[in-house]
Structures are given as C-alpha cells and as structure tokens.
Structure 1
Amino acid sequence: MAESIIVKVGSRSSELAMIQTKSVVAALEKANPSVKFEIITMDTIGDKVQDRALQKIGQTNLFTKELEKALAIGEVDLLVHSLKDVPTTLPDGMILAAICKREDPSDAVVLHPKWHGKSLESLPQGSVIGTSSLRRIALMRSIRPGFEFQTVRGNLNTRLKKLDESDQYDALLLATAGLQRLGWDDRISQRLDNSVFMYAVGQGALTIETRSNDPRIISLIKPLNDKPTLLMCSAERACLLNLGGGCSVPVGINSSYNSTTAVVSVECVVCSLDGGKRVYHLIEKPVANLPGLSLEECHSIGETMGNELGMELLHKGAKAILADIKEVTN
C-alpha cells in the first residue's frame, strides 16, 4: 500500500472512547507501518441524550448510528467501538472485521468515599446504587436484595464526580475495563465475580467495523483479531440475537477458554427486572488447536455455540421473562 494513503478512523469523542480508539490505532500502525491513520470524532445519540436511561430512548444503536452513517457514505473507513455497544444486527453492508483481545470483562463497584474500605455486601439496606443498566439492576436484585437504584448517565468522569460530590449515590456499578483504560484502578472498591454477577455481551472487548465491500481496509484490520475472544464473543452475540434482546436487557453472560483442556465454556442468565425469576444455561465445547483455526472457523464455532445456548434458554423460559420486560419498558 502506498505510503501517502490515509485511512480515516471514526470514533466517539469521549475521553474513554478516544483512549480506546488510540490504542487500536497504535496496533493498526504497528501491523501496517506504511499506512497513516487519522481519527475523526463525532457524538452519537447516546452521548447527546443524558437525561434518560438508555432503554427509554427507544432504539438499540445509540452509540453507533451516527458513526455508521459516516462509514456508509465514505467519510470514514473504519470505526472503533466497545463491542458491548454494538447491536447484534448490523446495517446492510457492514461487518465487524476484528474483535481485539478482551480485557477484564467484569463489573466493578465504586463506593462513595464515605464507605471507604467497605464492600457492597456491607452496605446497609436501602443504599442507593447508581446505574442505568437493566442487567445490573436485575442481577443485583436477584443476588443482593434491599438496594435502591437510580439512573446515572454521562461519561465516567461525570458519573464519578456525581458520586463523589453528592450523597445521591452510595455506590456505582461500572465496567472494570473502562476504569482500567482511564487509569482509575484505584477507584475500584471490588470486582464482582463473573460467575455470579455475569457481565454484558461483549463487555471488555473492542471491535472494528467497516464496509463489507472494502477488502483493502478489511485486510488492514484482520491482524488485530484475537481468536479466543472472537470465538467467545461470537457465541455471546449469537446467544443474544437468539434471545431477541438488545444491549439493555437483563441478559448476563460469562465466557472462558481453558487453554490446558482446550474447552470453551459460555454460560448465560436471563433475569426478570425484580430479580425474582432467573433462567440459566451453560454450554461447553472442546475446541482443539484454537490458535491454529482460521478466523472464519472461530466465528462459526462460536456462533453455533451461541445459537444452541440461546435456544436452550428460550426453551427453559427466557422467552416469557423477556416478553414481560419488553412490555414494561416500552
């Protein structure tokens, strides 16, 4: 590729989004030293609308729509997303050309300074937890009843400021990876156990979206794929697609790959909003020589696992739970 060619990278403009995009661009530059990458920023609906919980805005592509419009008309050549923000169905002509190696996917508890040294379990009944995630609310109600919940929106800086400078919240529930990428490990009061408090589909992973008819750009992106992450996230997204749920429904997932036994495990829970009903299923599959598989094989194996997992959950009663949630939230 000619040295003069510039590849335009679309990104949300928040501090966290820019840190994530710059990390991906650095990896792209290392893989493609003769190519110049230029970051183009823009705000999405999810960035602009801060006075409502995500599920109240009324669409699923809150953090991708504007970026994908720019991609479709050629204003940018590729997009960097947090995978958990990407709907399971992409616009026509778009693909996820890479899913990068996943960082810690867990959820973290950030306590108000007045509770320094405490844990979530030691907070008194009636304590107020800040989150706008239905998944986090439902799962917390199911494993630790007695908390109150209030919506908190905005970038991480804004949310932490709201926690620190008022008595509105006793704690926030946030993604561990986001805090770590911003260098705020010291704000993490505790990490929640992934097998108990399952995380959002795709959480902790970054992905790169581009046009499906642009082989030049796809070839630049492909080296950034991490095969275990690709397989597991393909399973997670296929499961969620089968459940018919968007990124804001109470579906928790936990995936792992044991390189010693060569087994991939994916477990999922669908929880009612009051935490009273739970449907759970685990699927495991031996995957020999995962590092030697092609990207297409990784995606196919993951998708097959996710389809089976989703169908089992529906068979066990998840369909009724999700229908009730849809009726309440619409």
Structure 2
Amino acid sequence: MRRIVVGTRRSALAMTQTQWVIERLKALGTGHAFAVQPIVTKGDRILDVTLSKIGGKGLFVKEIEQALLDREADLAVHSLKDLPAELPDGLVIAAVPPREDPRDALISRDGRRFEQLPAGAVVGTSSLRRAAQLLAWRPDVRVVPLRGNVDTRLKRLEAGDFDAIVLAAAGLARMGWLNRVTEFLPPERVIPAVGQGALAVECRADDDEVLALVARLNDRDTERAVRAERAFLHRLNGGCQVPLGAHAVVEGDRVRLTGFVGAPDGSRLIVETADGTEAEEVGVAAAERILARGGDALLEQVGEGSQQ
C-alpha cells in the first residue's frame, strides 16, 4: 500500500492538527502508511515583523504548497485561514473536516473580560483584523503586535508583557488549553478571519488516489460555509495586510454570511450581511455591498498605508 507524505508547519499546533487528520485517515481502514514532513515557511522564519509588514500572500503555506507541486509531499494540512483566496495551479482543497469553534478568545492576566480591562490596557495580537475590531469596541486600549506560536504568546502574557492577548479559540481547543480562556469574543462583535476554526487538506489535482481518500473527511456544511467566506475574500482581494473578516453559518439549504472591512485604527468598520442558497454567490454579494459603501476606497487607502 502507498506511503503518503504529509506536509505541515513545525509548530506544536500544526503538528497536532496534522496528527488529528492522519488518525482519521487511518481510521478509514485503507491500510495506507503516513509520514509527516515538517516544513518551515516564511511566516515562521520572520518573527520580528508584523504580518502586515512582511507582505504577500501565503506566508504560512507557500513552501508547503511547493513541496506538493515538487512531489516531495502528497497532501498538506493547513489552518484554512492561512490559505490565500487563490490556490496555485495544480492544487486543490480535497477536504474540509468539521469546523472547530471559529471565534476569537481573550485571555487576560488577571481574569478580566475585555470590557473590564482598564483604560490603556495592553492587548497583544498578530492580526490587523482583530486590532481594528478591538479598537472600534474599546478605543481606549492599546493594541500591540504579538507574533509567535500559541505557547510563546501565552508565555509572554504570563511574563507581564501584556494585560491580555487574543487568540483563535480553535487552536486553544486543539491544544487542550480552553481552560485558559477568559472570554470568547462574540462573532457579531469581533468577526472571525475567513476560514477560522477550519482545517484544509490540500493535495495535487491529478492525484486521484489521495483525492478519493481525503474526500471522505469532508464536512459538507463546513465546506459550504468556508466557500462563502473565501468567495468574499477573493472578491475583495484581501490578505493579512487588510483588516477584514467573514463568518458564514449554514442552516439547512441556506448560507448566511457577515463580513467586514475596516481601518486599522478601528475608526471605521463597514459591515454587511448576505444570505442565499449558493455559497459563493453569498460571499460575493456581501463583498459587493461593502464595496458599494466605500469599501473600495478604504481598501486602497489601507493597502497604500501598509506599503509605507
């Protein structure tokens, strides 16, 4: 039986997610053997600069995708929020397993919720999306860049560098660290990143054996939700240099998506919602409504600012 090489980042969270996928593939009873290939990405190498300043797309996936294209790996496990809206030619998302909690989580040093933090409190996050929405909610706090793996960020909080930090709830759940959470931030107030909480299993489009195997892990509702979110991202041509987010939920045959684009300082957020039966159409409709309200000018302004 074929040996399947799985590409992934080296972080503890990435390894945990990869093993989760491998165990479910093994449970299918096909007899395949699996080997993990850790790969260092550009986003992992450069830790002293904010993501928005590094620029470009695919900071945490490009090297892994190249390994797939070079046939050094057969499939890859990603946090779906790391995938750009467009995949390289020859690669596809073969499965999106059931989604974890898509919300952001606040962990404070003294157990205070976000609204209870004192004026001037220092909140750490690596995300322009989070920063814009947190500042719109509480302009009196200081949002400071925080890079590194989940455990590194938690250690810096414990060391007193921050009063609170904001992380993805899904990563904390997968690492077994939900007991650290002070507060789950409501998704209607802090809209998650596109694909947050979901995993993407990526492989070559011409690898029929791996495609057929991995497809058995796909969750239809999660797939429809993230297709809507990624259509929203694609229409706005967004990346980590722009504060934007989208969260879709599936109810029966309908998909409802709420998305936003904002100014990095939180001074303006444009939020829109769309609903329908076709996932991609819902995502595009929400994006079009944002553009019609001046989102195009805001995106251009933010893009110019990130290059300075």
TM range (shorter): over 0.9
Residue 85 (str. 1) matches residue 90 (str. 2): no
- Matched residues in 2 for 1:327 and 1:17: separation? 32
1:248 to partner: Cα distance: 4.4
* Equivalent position of 1:266 in the other structure: 257
Paired residues for 1:76-225 under 5 Å: 76-112=73-109, 115-116=110-111, 118-165=112-159, 167-225=160-218
- Residue-by-residue CA offset, 1:303-326 (whole Å, 9 max, x unaligned): 122122222211121111111110
CA distance in 2, matches of 1:272, 1:66: 30
CA distance in 2, matches of 1:55, 1:196: 22
Q: Secondary structure at the match of 1:320?
A: helix
Instruction: Count residues in correspondence.
Output: 307
Residue 242 (structure 2) pairs with residue 249 (structure 1) = yes
Structure 1 segments, 4+ long, off by >4 Å, are none
- Per the alignment, in what secondary structure is the counterpart of residue 267 of structure 1? strand
SS in 1 for 2:84: coil
**2:35 and 2:161 mapped to 1: Cα distance?**
41
1:280 partnered with 2:271: yes
Q: Say whether the 8 Å CA contact 1:107–1:175 is kept in structure 2.
A: yes
> Which amino acid is 2:213 matched to?
L
Asked if the contact 1:55/1:248 (under 8 Å) is kept, the reply is yes
Report SS of the residue matched to 1:172. Answer: strand
- Residues 133 and 248 of structure 1 are in contact (CA less than 8 Å); yes or no, is this contact kept in structure 2? no
Segments of 5+ residues of structure 1 without an aligned counterpart are: 288-300
Distance 1:258 1:241 in 2: 23
CA deviations over 1:237-265 (Å, ceiling 9, x no partner): 01011011114421122211234xx4321
TM-score (norm 1): 0.90
Does residue 314 (structure 1) correspond to residue 288 (structure 2)? The answer is no
Amino acid paired to 2:46: V
Amino acid at match of 1:25: I
1:202 Cα deviation from its structure 2 partner: 0.2
SS of 1:253 mapped into structure 2: strand
Partner in structure 2 of residue 293 of structure 1: none
Aligned mates of 1:198, 1:19 — CA distance in 2: 25
Q: 1:65 to 1:208 in 2, by over 3 A?
A: same
For 1:204, the aligned partner's letter is G
2:172 and 2:47 map into 1 onto residues whose CA distance is 20
Provide, for residues 209-248 of structure 1, a one-character-per-residue CA deviation record: whole Å limited to 9, x for no partner.
Answer: 1111111211111111111111110000010110111144
User: Mind listing any 5+ residue stretches in structure 2 that lack a counterpart?
Assistant: none
